[in-house]
Structure 1
Amino acid sequence: MDRQNGSAAASPLVSAIIPTRDRAGLVGRAVASALAQTHAPLEVIVVDDGSTDDTAAVLSAVADPRLTMVRLDPGRGVSAARNAGLAVARGAYVALLDSDDAWLPQKTARQLAFMRQRGLAISQTREIWMRGGKRVNPGKAQAKPDGFFFELALTRCLVSPSTVMFTREFHEEVGGFDESLPACEDYDLWLRALLRHPVGLLAEDLAVRHGGRPDQLSASHIGQDLYRIRSLLGLLGREDVSPWHASCIKKELRRKALCYAKGCLKRDKPEEAARVLDLAAAAAGPVGEAGETAP
């Protein structure tokens, strides 16, 4: 790991972490939006996961001592990139930002005030959704809840990384991103968070989420329920999982396994369907046949 930086602020209150790979045309916008925050005591850490395009040149052209660049060996993945940023972050608070997204100028100031007022260890904000350069309205299923919503968060990812802020103590307690997961690493971390902490929602649009491109993880990893299943299996082995948590996890594990198995059978992959159903059954009890719920 190679790190380069200028004479960054002595005591940044917020560390913004931006993972990137081969997004020279986008990362500059993300960095500029972080550096433009109205809250001044801030450092911006960009972790480059082995880019082969002009990403390094774009970042080197930014003449701001608050910017730090960390370079990883190629292809370690977004979890390793975020974890590398967390390892060098100096702020009392950490804010995540994906390299294709952006923040509105008041984002960190408003979120800091919100978290301090409510005594939160982790929070998120609402966001503006853009697809193909046009604003779109998220559906009701994407509405963000507030507080302890562990059971609902099992069904789908309800926390957006580019809107998240958490304390250093939160990171030390809950841990970082699971580097064995090539996708759904955020789903896994939010579930671990919700075992112990409410996730507060600042109901203001303070980030811009840009979607609809083939290089995004949601598009490049097909069958993402497999990674969610792996996350759920890992959760069941944790000491901080209560009997209620375990019951919720097992119910969702059976549901996701059946859904994944159906997809495998449609793609003529019966061995993979059987493998995942067996894994789920061993951890959560009888799952039934693909296409049927267990009694």
Structure 2
Amino acid sequence: MVLVSVIIPTYNRADFLKRSITSVLNQSFNDLELIIVDDGSTDHTHDVVGSFSDKRIKYLKKENAGVSSARNLGVKNSKGDYIAFLDSDDEWHRDKLASQVSYLKNTGKVLVHTAERWLRDGKVVKQKKHHQKHGGDMFIRSLQGCVISPSSVLMKKELFEQIGGMREDFVVCEDYDFWLKVTSLYDIGFLENEFVNKYGGHEDQLSFKFFAMDYWRVKSMAWILQNRPLSEERSKALLESCHKKCQYLMKGYKKHQNFKDYEEVKSIASFVTLHK
């Protein structure tokens, strides 16, 4: 039985992929499989993967359907007890998996993430205070934005299955939705080591393409409100955050005459108001 299944979803990132693959194969923890899910790439991704002869690599190619679809397919084809994700433009420190496996075995937690080093044009980028990672009860902090990086996570496979995988109808913020669901149920483990190098600045990153991310966040919060029992403190924080984001979105949609999304967000705002 393979203990850790590492899943790299990728789409037209052949120039970065070799670095990511190498960082997995060079892990000090060896009991792993690496599943590379090619989400319909049209570049030389297949050739990059083919340049490696390691038997732990499994290559899956599918029609382009987004990162959630790729990650879900990877998990579906995995054999490990634990799941780790790695974005195809990031890389790991060699002791990442060993440290995380030890942590989960010793604490009994279902998920642990780590600190990360941000790099742009070869230089380290200083992270702002609100970007700093933490562990414990992360639910309220998770309402404002994504506070867990997919590349930094190791989780029990049964947790991923319990949550139901990542939402494939979310074109962005699918990780926000997933972590919000997880943190509504569990405390999160954290390691302060910067076990991930996260590279930024290339224009194909989703953050360059989608500016109204709060649209997806309010949809996620509405789901939590309907499906999770919340304490008074958590409920208050969610309602306030969701209401504020809805008002901001509605103002923008009205200004740009985007009446379809305006009406959808308005219905979410009305639902939130009823729960206040």
Query: Shorter-chain TM-score: which interval?
Result: over 0.9
2:203 corresponds to 1:186: no
Rounded to whole Å, the distance in 1 between the matches of 2:103 and 2:93 is 16
Answer yes or no: is 1:104 the counterpart of 2:93: yes
Summarize the alignment of residues 149-164 of structure 1 with structure 2, pairs less than 5 Å apart: 149-164=138-153
The one-letter amino acid of 2:167's match is D
Distance 1:263 1:219 in 2: 19
Higher fraction of helix: 2
Counterpart Cα distance in 1 of 2:220 and 2:92: 29
SS at match of 2:217: helix
Which residue in 2 is equivalent to 1:19?
9
Question: Percent identity, aligned pairs only?
Answer: 34
Contact 1:24 / 1:58 at 8 angstroms: preserved in 2? Answer: yes
Q: Does the residue aligned with 1:43 lie in a helix, a strand or coil?
A: strand
**Contact in 2 for aligned 1:184/1:228 (Cα 8 Å):** yes
Q: Is residue 139 of structure 1 aligned with residue 128 of structure 2? A: yes
The number of aligned residues is 275
TM-score by length of 2: 0.94
Q: Structure 2: any 5+ residue segments left out of the alignment?
A: none
Q: State how far apart, in whole Å, the 1-side matches of 2:262 and 2:22 are.
A: 48
Residue 30 (structure 2) pairs with residue 40 (structure 1): yes
**2:69 is the alignment partner of 1:69:** no
Matches of 1:191 and 1:277 in 2, distance apart?
19
User: Of 247, 263, 272, which aligns to 1:275?
Assistant: 263
1:30 corresponds to which residue?
20
8 Å CA contact 1:261–1:272 kept in 2: the answer is no
* Moved beyond 4 Å, runs of 4+: none
SS in 1 for 2:226: coil
Deviation at 1:270, TM superposition (A): 5.8
Give the alignment's TM-score, normalised by structure 1.
Answer: 0.88
Question: What CA RMSD, in Å, does the superposition of the two structures yield over aligned residues?
Answer: 1.8
Give the residue type in structure 2 aligned to 1:66.
Answer: R
Greater shift in the superposed pair: 13-22 or 126-135? 126-135
Change in Cα spacing, 1:265 to 1:133, as seen in structure 2 (3 Å) is farther
Q: Give the equivalent residue in structure 2 for 1:225.
A: 214
Q: What's the counterpart of residue 59 of structure 1?
A: 49
Distance 1:153 1:80 in 2: 23
1:230 partner amino acid: K
Distance 2:231 2:115 in 1: 32
CA contact (8 A) 1:103 1:206 kept: yes
Aligned to 1:127: 116
| CA displacement at 1:125 relative to structure 2 | 0.5
Between stretches 224-233 and 85-94, larger displacement belongs to 224-233
Judge conservation of contact 1:232–1:253 (CA < 8 Å) in 2. Answer: yes
Aligned letter for 1:54?
Answer: H
Q: 2:70 is matched with which residue?
A: 81
Displacement of 1:265 in angstroms is: 4.7
Code of the aligned partner of 1:275: E
Q: Matched residues in 2 for 1:270 and 1:167: separation?
A: 41
Matched, 1:148 2:137: yes
For the residue of structure 2 that corresponds to 1:91, the secondary structure is: coil
> Given that residues 49 and 76 in structure 1 are in contact (C-alpha distance below 8 angstroms), is that contact kept between their aligned partners in structure 2?
yes
